[in-house]
Amino acid sequence: QQQVKQSPQSLIVQKGGISIINCAYENTAFDYFPWYQQFPGKGPALLIAIRPDVSEKKEGRFTISFNKSAKQFSLHIMDSQPGDSATYFCAASSGAGSYQLTFGKGTKLSVIP
Amino acid sequence: NAGVTQTPKFQVLKTGQSMTLQCAQDMNHEYMSWYRQDPGMGLRLIHYSVGAGITDQGEVPNGYNVSRSTTEDFPLRLLSAAPSQTSVYFCASSSGVRHEQYFGPGTRLTVT
């Protein structure tokens, strides 16, 4: 059973456009939602994260929007740049002291000039 | 700090061979974990450890063993490699901020 569903699988955006990646979760015990960015040949790296007590978090060109009632969250990349081309993973964790992350299947973003 | 290091970077095994993937971190993190990454499957947790001497299974533990004798090291053992274990393996560590896991550069394993 896949607990975090991510879409789309791949995304092509023009430079300067907005990239949007969506995730939905089933487990209501999840209480932390990070996004990881992975460049080819590298390990994933934490990009931005949100708790369900806020509806939006912004860091530079990256914004997470969170809808608790719909059990959905999304990553928006404003003014997308070719350097943003990477694979993005949403994830979720639950429970006090829990270190386990459940990842979505990933979205390969290509930003074309 | 070197962060999380993994060796080897690449490995080719024949079916039935055994090997150990090494992982070390120099950040004094208590939590360490192993993931495998397969195309279209995301990252799946194999085993994890919340401290020296403590390990537990993740989502896909079959065919893999782990031990944690020190805070720094968390090796992953394949006792009898199978083609289904062809994958990219990532080790990660974390301090108390539970979502912030630091990943190593990965080991690409091919089993023929």
The pLDDT assigned to B41 comes to: 87
Which residue of A7, A99, A108 is the best one to mutate when testing the B interface, meaning the one whose CB has the most B CBs within 10 A? A99
Closest CA to B42 of A45, A111, A2, A32: A2
Test A101 with B101 for CB contact under 8 angstroms: yes
From chain A, the residues in CB contact with B58 under 8 A are 100
Q: Is the pLDDT of residue A5 over 80?
A: yes
DSSP, residue by residue, A2-49: -SEEEE-SEEEEETTS-EEEEEEE--TTEEEEEEEEE-TTS--EEEEE
Sheet architecture: strand order including A72-77: A4-7, A19-25, A72-77, A62-67, A56-59
User: CA angle, corner A109, sides to A90 and A17, nearest 5?
Assistant: 110
Residues B95 and B29: their CA atoms lie apart, in Å, by: 5
- Per residue in A7-50, pLDDT (tens digit) is 999 999 999 999 999 999 998 889 889 999 999 999 999 999 99
- Per residue in B11-40, pLDDT (tens digit) is 999 999 999 999 999 999 999 999 999 988
Test B105 with A42 for CB contact under 8 angstroms: yes
Instruction: Tell me what the pLDDT averaged over chain A comes to.
Output: 93
Please tell me the distance in Å from B22's CA to the nearest CA on chain A: 15
Other Cβ atoms within 10 Å of A91 Cβ, number: 26
DSSP, residue by residue, B32-81: EEEEEEETTTEEEEEEEEEETTEEEE-SS-TTEEE--SSSSB--EEESS-
Residues B98 and B110: their CA atoms lie apart, in Å, by: 31
Q: What is the mean pLDDT of residues B67-84?
A: 96
Q: What is the mean pLDDT of residues A76-101?
A: 88
pLDDT > 70 fraction of chain B, expressed in percent and rounded: 96
